[in-house]
Structure 1
Amino acid sequence: MTVARAAVNVVRLGRISYRSALKVQQQHIKQHLDSSSTSPNTLLLCEHEPVYTVGIRRAPYPPEEEQRLKALGADFFRTNRGGLVTFHGPGQLVCYPVLNLACFKKSVRWYVCELERTVIKMCSKFGIEASTSPDTGVWVGDNKICALGIHCGRYITSHGLALNCNTDMSWFDNIVPCGIVGKGVTSLSRELGRDVPTEEAVPKLLEAFTEQFNCTLTYN
């Protein structure tokens, strides 16, 4: 018996504040959880205005650190995703999959691994050899090229991944990205030695996603 491929709708949000993108995610999550709704699985693609975000951690992020980061000209948000502190900003392709894992596989561990494999496959399309490590995300050597942090409630996913394309990497100098000491960050542009805007990365990411998740894409 042939299993039908799940359909995933791609929504381009453009450059958008983190707060606004969070509201869009919440609307899609609510539709999934509403039993009377037939909300589609969705990939929200965007770039953010400069913002530092903090995921779930054992100890609260110090208020003085929050004020220091805000003074740099960035927003700051505490979120319910996994992971620690990271940066989002222009030149970074952010992908928020809002998926019902019942349409794929009801396993959060499987889902996280598939996201990582999607980014690794996308990097290979650029000729970049990327990999996973004991730390989350996707790496080129000891430098993280894509951060990953998700939330999953009742098998509905939110948050997602942030791929550095031609990001101003100096924003990361103000934090210990994802709380990992002794490792750095990189970007498609840095690895390839040329400017790689987010628009160049989008089709390769979507192609890798359809291959890895065995789905078909529709476009809003």
Structure 2
Amino acid sequence: MMSPGKPTVKIVNLGRVAYHSALQIQQQYIRQHFDSSSQTPNTLLLCEHDPVYTTGIRRAPYPAKEEQRLKDLGAEFFRTNRGGLITFHGPGQMVCYPILNLGCFKKSVRWYVHKLEETVITMCAKFGIKASTSPDTGVWVGNNKICAIGIHCGRYITSHGLGLNCNTDMSWFDHIVPCGIKGKGVTSLNQELGRDVTIEEAAPVLLQAFSEQFNCTLCKADFLQNQ
């Protein structure tokens, strides 16, 4: 049931998808927001990636020598227009790309990032994990980051989003300084709960928390082909 006055956000589950494909898909949904003839839904893309390291737009470009070193590990490497520094995406990590018009919610990027953090904190609480924010963007359990957040926002249309470690192989993070933050580590739902927590188990809990924090109605939708 859709609630009057609440924005509707469509959930599109892309499954396992290559990172470059996810970038293209995000652009399809972004273009819809700028097409006046399109009935543009706010959309949350859920997916999982093959091993890939990505960097954001903050500070100096990542050195080519370091890029090759990471590729030699068997991962892809992409430079993106999101905020933040280097991070890893791979199997067992739930990636969420909200393609939202903030005009339907609140025209504030700071508010939006805060709400993404609160969504993950709420989800962790539902699992019995005490998570929090810190001066560094993302969601933390103690000094270990459980969820990285890096977004882009142009004309109040959001893209990129968050990567939540469920049962990720955490050894991929050993080869980088995640998000450029020295002296802190990373963690996952697996590590915190001492059991296997799949994306399939975590996704409904995250979506419930998202609907609470963004005060929206969620509904499932199919991927829009060839938009």
Q: TM-score, normalised by structure 1?
A: 0.98
User: In 2, Cα distance between the equivalents of 1:60 and 1:11?
Assistant: 32
Q: List structure 1 segments (4+ residues) > 6 angstroms apart after TM superposition.
A: none
Residue of structure 2 equivalent to 1:38 = 39
Residue of structure 1 equivalent to 2:94 = 93
Per-residue deviation at 1:120? 0.1
Deviations along 1:2-56, one digit per CA (max 9) or x if unpaired, are 9700000000000000000111000000010112212100000000000000001
1:36-185 maps to which residues of 2 (within 5 A)? 36-185=37-186
User: In 2, Cα distance between the equivalents of 1:147 and 1:65?
Assistant: 21
Deviations along 1:124-149, one digit per CA (max 9) or x if unpaired, are 00000000000000000000000000
Deviations along 1:71-125, one digit per CA (max 9) or x if unpaired, are 0000000000000000000000000000000000000000000000000000000
User: In 2, Cα distance between the equivalents of 1:58 and 1:36?
Assistant: 38
What amino acid maps onto 2:167 in structure 1?
N
What amino acid maps onto 1:121 in structure 2?
T
**More displaced stretch, 196-205 vs 32-41:** 32-41
Q: Structure 2 unaligned runs (5+)?
A: 222-227
Deviations along 1:125-178, one digit per CA (max 9) or x if unpaired, are 000000000000000000000000000000000000000000000000000000
User: In 2, Cα distance between the equivalents of 1:137 and 1:56?
Assistant: 16
Residue of structure 2 equivalent to 1:206 = 207
User: In 2, Cα distance between the equivalents of 1:100 and 1:57?
Assistant: 24
What amino acid maps onto 1:177 in structure 2?
P
What amino acid maps onto 2:170 in structure 1?
M
User: In 1, Cα distance between the equivalents of 2:8 and 2:87?
Assistant: 31
SS of 1:105 mapped into structure 2: coil
User: In 2, Cα distance between the equivalents of 1:82 and 1:38?
Assistant: 28
What amino acid maps onto 1:124 in structure 2?
A
Deviations along 1:58-80, one digit per CA (max 9) or x if unpaired, are 21110000000000000000000
Per-residue deviation at 1:215? 0.3
Aligned residues: 219
What amino acid maps onto 2:128 in structure 1?
G
What amino acid maps onto 1:64 in structure 2?
K
Deviations along 1:177-198, one digit per CA (max 9) or x if unpaired, are 0000000000000000000011
SS of 2:146 mapped into structure 1: strand
Residue of structure 1 equivalent to 2:225 = none
